[in-house]
Amino acid sequence: MYKIVGKIKLAEGIDRFEIEAPLIAKKAKAGQFVVIRVNEYGERIPLTIADYDSSQGIISLVTMSIGKTTYMLSKLKRGDSIRDVVGPLGKQSEIERFGKVICVGGGVGIAPVMPIAKSLKNTRNYIISIIGAKNKASLILADEMKEISDEFYICSDDGSIGFHGFVSEKLNELLEDSEKSSDSDLRKDINRVIAIGPAPMMSAVCSVTKPYSIKTIVSLNSIMVDGTGMCGACRVEVGGETKFVCVNGPEFDGHKVNFNLLMLRQKMYLNEEKKALDLYEEKCGCKMLEQKNGKTC
């Protein structure tokens, strides 16, 4: 059992958990993930490690309540425990002194891009961060990202905060301005882009960077079961070859990823997921009503 030693609500439906997992915290690196199981009968889901403290033996996970398991997780509080946490899994991010790096995070993708940006900053890279959300209320970790960035931009779909538009549009604006600038300080070479978020967002970012031939790394969020490469559920097409996200990734060259196939595979179990969530909500509603009336199931 893995004890929850801290829980913070970052936005509506988005929580940050601090989990006591000393062995994982000791080995964790930026870009890696864990597979969790809330209880003995729960499904396994992958969650990227948002932060880790090896001295305290703590890892941070950020979740959005979108399916049955994440809703179950959201009901847990400090002092409760998670049945299984397996990791760290996957390959760590490539951390070198690249020079000028743009880190792009969309929605909950801001959480996994943060430790990568932090590690790159500690390796003396110049960090430009672009983060975005649907609106101001759903934006997460803005202060933390600003603190580790040399340049910092916020985007929102509805214009309620920062740039009115998608992160890919702001990225395109910055790249265009960089190309036009004659100032050598402003026109530092952009050597790498890191993008994490929904698949359509990562695809859009790659479409923006490809004409500039800027290496763009994405962290893929395919369906996953065991996390060891045995089941094949997380397979994706990269450069015309089949890769397993859990062992070959989760990070890949975004210009080689078949995003259309990735998004198609992500939709494979939507009906089953909806049914599972509906049954769970129905069950929880019954329990809450009975508790209110002083009864038990």
The domain limits of the chain are 2-89, 91-219, 220-266, 270-297
> The tokens of 252 are what?
């890949």
pLDDT digits (tens), the chain, 297 positions: 899 999 999 999 999 999 999 999 999 999 999 999 998 888 888 999 999 999 999 999 999 988 888 888 998 999 999 999 998 999 999 999 999 999 999 999 999 999 999 999 999 999 999 999 999 999 999 999 999 999 999 999 999 999 999 999 999 999 988 766 555 444 458 899 999 999 999 999 999 999 999 999 999 988 888 888 888 888 999 999 999 999 999 999 999 999 999 988 888 877 888 888 888 777 776 544 444 444 433
| Residue 17 burial (CB count, 10 A) | 26
Please name the helix (run of DSSP H) or strand (run of DSSP E) that holds residue 72, with its range, or none: helix 68-74
Q: Taking the model in full, what pTM does it have?
A: 0.87
- CB of 86 closer than 8 Å to CB of 46: no
**Cα–Cα nearest to 212, from 113, 102, 105:** 102
Q: Which CATH number fits domain 2-89: 1.20.120.450, 2.60.120.10, 2.40.30.10, 3.20.20.450?
A: 2.40.30.10
- Distances in Å between the Cα of 260 and the Cα atoms of 103, 200, 266, 267, 268 are 23, 9, 10, 11, 13
Beta bridge partners of 62: 16
Verify cis geometry, omega within 30 degrees of 0, for the bond prior to 250: yes
- CB of 131 closer than 8 Å to CB of 139: yes
Q: Which CATH class is domain 91-219?
A: alpha beta
Residue 291 pLDDT: 43
- CB of 112 closer than 8 Å to CB of 219: yes
- CB of 111 closer than 8 Å to CB of 131: no
Q: Which CATH class is domain 220-266?
A: mainly beta
With 0-12 / 13-18 / 19 or more C-beta atoms within 10 angstroms meaning exposed / middle / buried, residue 288 is exposed
Residue 274 pLDDT: 84
